[in-house]
Amino acid sequence: MKNDPRSHGLWERTAPPPPVTRALDGEVTADVAVIGAGFTGLSAALHLAEDGMKVVVLEAAEIGFGGSGRNVGLVNAGLWVMPDEIPAVLGDTYGPRVLDLLGGAPRVVFDLIARHNIQCEATPVGTLHCAVGDDGLAELKERARQWQARGAPVRLLDAAETAHKVGTTAYTGSLLDERAGTVQPLAYARGLAHAAIKAGATIYTESPVVGADDDGTQWRLRTASGSVTAPWVIVATNAYTMAMWPQLRAELVHLPYFNLATRPLSDNLRRSILPERQGAWDTKEILSSFRFDQEGRFIFGSVGALRGPGLPIHRNWGRRAMAKLFPQLKDVEFETEWYGKIGMTVDNVPRFHRLGRNVVSFSGYNGRGIAPGTVFGRCLAQLVTGKIGDADLPLPLTEPQAAPLRAAKEVYYEVGAQLAHVASARF
Ligand SMILES: Cc1cc2nc3c(=O)[nH]c(=O)nc-3n(C[C@H](O)[C@H](O)[C@H](O)COP(=O)(O)OP(=O)(O)OC[C@H]3O[C@@H](n4cnc5c(N)ncnc54)[C@H](O)[C@@H]3O)c2cc1C
């Protein structure tokens, strides 16, 4: 997108086309204005339109331009934080509620995909969180125990079973989560956009919101060539926030993450890795993720930005690390590469904010936004239509807090990933 092959890489090459949209030109009115056409904004728009509301979405660039069109495509259940720790962070009301909602969120995604017949390579066959060493296995054992105590369909696999399911003996075990799976993320975002438009929503692209005025009953959102007037505003700009409500940006530390994808592999090679097609990632701090797309391309990712010195470092690391895990891929080149920024909060828990009168927002998904963005968008739609109140939401209302040492942490993540990937060549 935006003539940048490293923004959306493979996903842009293989996603079905987006709906035809244009930039906002002139004055329009709506019941609800949504800013941002990622999973959160599009899910909100779809659910609002299905409820008969007049919705207008304003997107600065294109549908799925932010994290929604660039991610790995792992449709995860729950959060990074261990299930038992969530009530300690969010309290006894919100903790269990968010766990319930996000535990079931992949099901919501796959049901929505089926209901709207979204062509996005949906593969609901689970995910494998792969243990590195004894510490990784201990972490996954504990995670399995905590989810199982809540009745979740997760299973700890030993090293032999993991080797069978992944196709490498590199791991000491893994956690199979049968609630989860994978999608082609840009195709999912575009499919949500098609469904929202079909339900009656209007989406304007190339229309960054640059100003917002409240007259006490209506908001007027301004773009370069028009405006939307609406009593309610949903801000779904998350880690890609530009211009408006910059406190959302200030709250998040950007963690860069890249993906490299091969050409479609031969049948023999495909059969030798992840034969059941789960999406996978490991327990390392600078983690690696891997999965296949529908055409049998192997997609390998890790922390880092594909720019400046990071570009050759991460590419070279990718070749080495992939060949180490799967020696049969040692001569396979990567065909596409892309990266984006993940919005991290200080405690790895997302946020619900009221940014002004009737201006509501969820953000800070910490690299887990496909399922959460979908269900949080639906929550925002329900809040606006009065089906639920603030007290029924899965997260407490908080004020945005600037992340301490944000700029320094972002440099640390980007340079730290480079150093880790250089070092992995030496040891
Ligand atoms: C590389 C990478 C890998 C990831 N892997 C996974 C994964 O495997 N699984 C998972 O669940 N999550 C993953 N994530 C996280 C997930 O992609 C995000 O949490 C999710 O996409 C957030 O969706 P969103 O709709 O809230 O925001 P976004 O998709 O970021 O959308 C925000 C939109 O707002 C628009 N915008 C910003 N400012 C304005 C403005 N002023 N006016 C109008 N529009 C504006 C932007 O252009 C953008 O399109 C990953 C993220 C990245 C970057």
- Average pLDDT across each block of 10 residues of the chain; the chain has 427 residues. List them in order: 91 98 98 98 98 98 98 96 92 95 98 98 98 98 97 97 98 98 98 98 98 97 98 98 95 98 97 98 97 98 98 97 97 97 97 98 98 98 97 96 97 97 79
CA of 36 to the centre of ligand 1 (A): 9
Residue in 267, 282, 78 with CA at minimum distance from that of residue 166: 282
DSSP 22-47: B---EEEE-SEEEE--SHHHHHHHHH
Counting ligand 1 atoms within 8 A of each CB, the residue from 62, 233, 337, 342 with the most, and so the one to mutate, is 342
Counting ligand 1 atoms within 8 A of each CB, the residue from 1, 219, 240 with the most, and so the one to mutate, is 240
| The pLDDT value given to residue 426 | 62
| The pLDDT value given to residue 214 | 98
Provide residues with CB under 6 Å of ligand 1: 35-41, 58-61, 65-68, 70-74, 76, 208-209, 236-244, 257, 339-342, 365, 367-370, 373
Distance CA 231, CA 31 (A): 6
DSSP 274-312: -TT--EEEESSSS-EEEEE-TT-EEEEEEE--SSTTHHH
Counting ligand 1 atoms within 8 A of each CB, the residue from 365, 374, 376 with the most, and so the one to mutate, is 365
| The pLDDT value given to residue 297 | 98
DSSP 180-244: -EE--HHHHHHHHHHHHHHHT-EEE-S----EEEE-SS-EEEEETTEEEEESEEEE--GGG--SS
| The pLDDT value given to residue 301 | 98
CA of 68 to the centre of ligand 1 (A): 4
Is the alpha carbon torsion for 151, 152, 157, 161 positive or negative? Answer: positive
| The pLDDT value given to residue 3 | 85
Say if residues 259 and 281 touch (Cβ distance below 8 Å): no
Query: pTM of the prediction?
Result: 0.98
What burial letters (b/e) apply to 339-377, b meaning 16+ CB within 10 Å? bbbbbbbeebbbbbbebeebbbbbbbbbbbbbbbbbbbb
Which atom of ligand 1 lies at the shortest distance from residue 64's CA? Answer: 49
Q: Whose CA is nearest to atom 15 of ligand 1?
A: 367
Contacts for 331 with CB less than 8 Å, ≥ 6 apart: none
Q: Which of helix, strand or coil describes residue 168?
A: coil
| The pLDDT value given to residue 424 | 86
Say how far residue 402 (Cα) sits from the centre of its chain: 22
Q: Checking DSSP bridges between strand 202-204 and strand 55-58, what pairing results, if any?
A: parallel
Counting ligand 1 atoms within 8 A of each CB, the residue from 43, 179, 370, 413 with the most, and so the one to mutate, is 370
Which atom of ligand 1 lies at the shortest distance from residue 40's CA? Answer: 25
Distance CA 344, CA 329 (A): 33
Q: Whose CA is nearest to atom 50 of ligand 1?
A: 71
Say if residues 293 and 121 touch (Cβ distance below 8 Å): yes
DSSP 371-408: HHHHHHHHHHHHHHTTSS-GGGSSS-B----PPTTHHH
At what angle are helices 39-50 and 185-199 packed, to 10 degrees?
30
| The pLDDT value given to residue 165 | 98
Phi, psi of 58 (to 5 degrees): -110, 120
Q: Whose CA is nearest to atom 33 of ligand 1?
A: 36
Which atom of ligand 1 lies at the shortest distance from residue 223's CA? Answer: 42
CA of 67 to the centre of ligand 1 (A): 3
